[in-house]
Amino acid sequence: MSHLEALKAADPEIRELIAEEERRQDRCIRLIPSENYASRAVMEATGSVLTNKYSEGYPGRRYYEGQQVIDRVETIAVERAKALFGAQHANVQPYSGSPANQAVYLALLKPGDTVLGLSLPFGGHLTHGWKVNFSGITYRAVQYELDPATHRVDLDRVLDLARKERPKVIFTGGTAYPRIWDFEGFARVAREVGAVLVADIAHIAGLVAGGAHPSPIPHAPIVTTTTHKTLRGPRGGMILSTAEHATALDRAVFPGLQGGPHNHTTAGIAVALKEAASPPFRDYAHQIVRNAKALAEGLLEKGFRLISGGTDSHLILIDTTAGAADRPGVNGKPAAKALDKAGLECNYNTIPFEPRKPMDPSGVRIGTPSVTSRGMREPEMRRIAEWMHRALAAWEKPDVLERIRAEVAELCEAFPPPGIRI
Ligand SMILES: *Cc1c(COP(=O)(O)O)cnc(C)c1O
């Protein structure tokens, strides 16, 4: 931790906590599908003097002087985002994914207008119209669900709902949907009812950039994303759009919603976009999906019940309440806690048509972006499936979980994570 010398002198308590978190991220298998390891280059840009500068406005149109450097940084980030995704316009200022979505609402809707999105317990996001979120409080939110038999999006149902409710905006994308998003199909639905389609690719932006998931462009005129999930940048958000929506979206971000942009984050985003445009990133994106498929196969062999039967992407949703001959069923929360004790970090999650409470649901959600970033491949995925099976078979036995944790740490030692050991 030679890189935290000043912090060691100024605030040893926080320095030690950061060191502890670094060790934790190094020694466990991180399976939360929205998380990743940012590169050291991304973290250097993010931890720079750019944090000292105020830059309200956009390049060439600022309210403060001294933007000679910042304007160039933001312009590079914007141009890289446009080139990587083939977009006509990009705004890289949203503080994160939720504010990016909030800016879309502000740009396109008046309070009380109707928006259609995937329901949260079915794998949608809070900002797609969930009742306790600004999106469900301020707007008239209608929510689509998944097909009861396949647990996939049924576009005929979405179209029926859209015809009945006449939304002005339709959101696609989610947080716990393991299958390909049919952006072209959603575009047909949106066209049919005269709605604007917004593709929220927060989870899959890196897969899209690397060609491992179909792109929403040109089907969706507006695309929102985070920059820190599969895209492997610093925490942040972006909005991509057609030229038609550019001015309204820019105004919604600033001055509609935010003040000064986080310039250090913008620089980190620029670096991540450069990394994502490189040939190795294409291999990375495809390996994420190959790893997820290998992990899903390993889990199916151990008798796990996977929502929709498997995955096409980086993410797997498991109904842990369904046991096997040699493994009891266990609710999502105790399952996630047992796995964490075994060094396998994941999160408990609702499953489609969830019969239990959101704070104690039926499933756990896992994904492969982080393990792929540290170079793990199909053989390691099979070991992870085996460990998950053993850990849940012994979810009430701390000694067994502790033994698995030691085996996990040993494997991790051989796979140095970006930003920590490489
Ligand atoms: C993560 C996520 C967001 C929100 O991102 P934050 O950075 O946590 O605000 C929005 N939409 C989807 C689909 C997400 O997965």
On whether both 331 and 208 belong to a single domain, the answer is no
The predicted structure's pLDDT at residue 8: 96
**Could you tell me if residue 9 is inside a domain?**
no
C-beta of residue 118 within 8 angstroms of C-beta of residue 200: no
In a domain, 388, yes or no: yes
| Domain region containing 214 | 44-276
pLDDT (0 to 100) of residue 61 = 98
Give yes or no for a cis peptide into 398 (omega within 30° of 0): no
Q: Which of 210, 241, 276 is the last residue of a domain?
A: 276
Q: Are 262 and 95 in contact (CB under 8 A)?
A: yes
Answer yes or no: is 14 within a domain.
no
Check whether residue 389 and residue 312 sit in a common domain: yes
Ligand 1 atom nearest residue 237's Cα: 7
Two structure tokens written together for 253: 């971000």
Mean pLDDT of the chain: 98
> Which pairs with CB-CB distance under 8 Å and at least 24 residues apart come from 344-348?
344/28, 344/29, 344/31, 344/384, 344/387, 344/388, 344/391, 344/404, 344/408, 345/28, 345/29, 345/30, 345/31, 345/32, 346/31, 346/32, 347/32
CB-neighbour burial class of residue 112 (10 A; exposed 0-12, middle 13-18, buried 19+): exposed
- What's the pLDDT tens digit per position in 123-149? 999 999 999 999 999 999 999 999 999
What is the DSSP secondary structure assignment for residue 121, as one 8-state letter?
G
Is 34 contained in some domain?
A: no
- pLDDT reported for residue 231: 98
In a domain, 48, yes or no: yes
Same domain assignment for residues 211 and 263: yes
**Beta pairing partners, 143:** 117
- Residue of 92, 98, 313 best suited for mutating to test ligand 1, as the one with most atoms within 8 Å of CB: 98
Ligand 1 atom closest to Cα of residue 235? 7
Instruction: For tokens 């939110």, name the residue.
Output: 141
Per-residue pLDDT, averaged over 220-227, amounts to: 99
Asked if residue 248 has pLDDT above 80, the reply is: yes
Q: At a CB cut-off of 8 Å and minimum separation 6, what does 238 contact?
A: 81, 90, 91, 92, 94, 100, 224, 225, 227, 269
User: How far is the C-alpha of 220 from the C-alpha of 241, rounded, in Å?
Assistant: 8
For residue 27, being part of any structural domain is answered with no
Backbone angle region of 160, left / alpha / beta, with phi > 0 → left and psi within -120 to 50 → alpha: alpha
Residue 206 near residue 229 (C-beta atoms within 8 A): yes
* Final residue before a domain boundary, out of 256, 276, 296: 276
Percent of the chain with pLDDT strictly greater than 70: 100
Give yes or no for a contact between 204 and 213, defined as CB atoms under 8 angstroms apart.
Answer: yes
CATH number at residue 106: 3.40.640.10
Whole-angstrom distance, CA of residue 245 vs CA of residue 224: 13
Domain presence at residue 392? yes
Question: Do 163 and 189 touch, CB atoms closer than 8 A?
Answer: no
Look at the chain and report how many structural domains it folds into.
Answer: 2
Say whether both 111 and 158 belong to one domain. yes
Mean pLDDT along residues 177-184:
98
Task: List, as one string, the DSSP characters of 49-89.
Answer: GGGG----EETTEESSS--HHHHHHHHHHHHHHHHHHT-SE
Closest CA to 89 of 227, 259, 223, 255: 223
Q: What is the pLDDT of residue 345?
A: 98
Q: Taking residues 100-118, what's their average pLDDT?
A: 98
**Confidence band, pLDDT 50/70/90 cuts, at residue 3:** confident
Ligand 1 centroid from CA 119, angstroms: 14
Based on the fold, state whether residues 269 and 306 are members of the same structural domain: no
The radius of gyration of the chain from alpha carbons, rounded to an integer in Å, stands at: 22
CA–centroid distance, residue 204 to ligand 1 (Å): 11
Distances in Å between the Cα of 112 and the Cα atoms of 109, 138, 400, 422 are: 8, 6, 54, 50
Contacts of 24 (CB under 8 A, 6+ apart): none
Any domain includes 25 = no
Task: Give me the DSSP letters along 339-354.
Answer: HHHTTEE-EEE--TT-
Q: Do 125 and 249 belong to one domain? A: yes
**CATH number of the domain within which 332 lies:** 3.90.1150.10
Q: Are 277 and 80 in contact (CB under 8 A)?
A: yes
387-420: per-residue pLDDT in tens? 999 999 999 999 999 999 999 999 999 999 999 9
Q: Cα of 272 to ligand 1 centre, how many Å? A: 18
Model confidence at 1: pLDDT above 60: no
Which amino acids are annotated catalytic?
54, 56, 200, 226, 229, 235
> What is the rounded distance in angstroms from the CA atom of residue 373 to the CA atom of residue 65?
40
Average pLDDT of the segment spanning 306-318: 98
How confident is the model over 28-46, as pLDDT tens digits? 999 999 999 999 999 999 9
Other CB atoms within 10 A of residue 351 CB: 26
What is the percent of the chain where pLDDT is above 90? 99
Residues 116 and 154 placed together within one structural domain of the fold: yes
Tallying the residues shown for the chain, one arrives at: 422
pLDDT, tens digit, for every residue of 48-82?
999 999 999 999 999 999 999 999 999 999 999 99
Query: Looking at the structure, do residues 263 and 117 belong to the same domain, yes or no?
Result: yes
Same domain, 65 and 207: yes
301 and 162 in one domain? no
pLDDT at 2 exceeding the cut of 80: no
Q: Do 251 and 326 have their domain in common?
A: no
pLDDT range class, residue 176, cuts 50, 70, 90: very high
Domain boundary among 244, 276, 308: 276
- Summarised one tens digit per residue, pLDDT across range 271-295 is 999 999 999 999 999 999 999 999 9
Residues 346 and 339: their CA atoms lie apart, in Å, by 7
User: Beta 140-144 vs 114-118: how paired, if at all?
Assistant: parallel
pLDDT tens-place string over residues 370-388: 999 999 999 999 999 999 9
Ligand 1: lining residues by beta carbon, under 6 Å:
34, 96-98, 101, 125, 127, 173-175, 200, 202-203, 226
Atom of ligand 1 nearest to the CA of 99: 9
257 lies in the same domain as 309: no
Which residue's CA lies nearest to atom 2 of ligand 1? 202
